[in-house]
Amino acid sequence: MRLLLLAAIASVIGATTTYAHTTDVRTQSVYQATSDSLSSDSLQKLYQQIDLLSIFELKKWRESYIYKNRTQPSVQNKQILIYIEERIKVVK
């Protein structure tokens, strides 16, 4: 009985970890791209990706860019944060 319970718990943890990892990979690639200075074309592509985000993802990105503006202040990060905040107003 304990072995069956242990196997069930392990499979749930494995499935949850796999799901969490797959969702992080998508956003992580975008975050890596924005760490450096982006060209205007890349910035437009980032804005297009932001347009596709749900309200929950927008809120996560907003918090991320608030932190990023504190740790790595740049004009570009501020512009992205402003765009995210405007997008949140539209999506609500």
Residue 80: domain span:
2-91
State the total domains in the chain: 1
pLDDT at residue 34, rounded to an integer: 47
Instruction: Collect the ranges in the chain with pLDDT lower than 50.
Output: 32-34
pLDDT at residue 3 in the model: 64
pLDDT tens digits along 18-37: 555 555 555 555 554 445 57
User: Is the pTM of the predicted complex or chain greater than 0.75?
Assistant: no
What is the pLDDT at residue 38?
82
Distance CA(55)–CA(72), nearest Å, equals 25
CA 61/CA 8 separation, integer angstroms:
34
- Spatial CA neighbour of 88 closest among 48, 57, 46, 45: 57
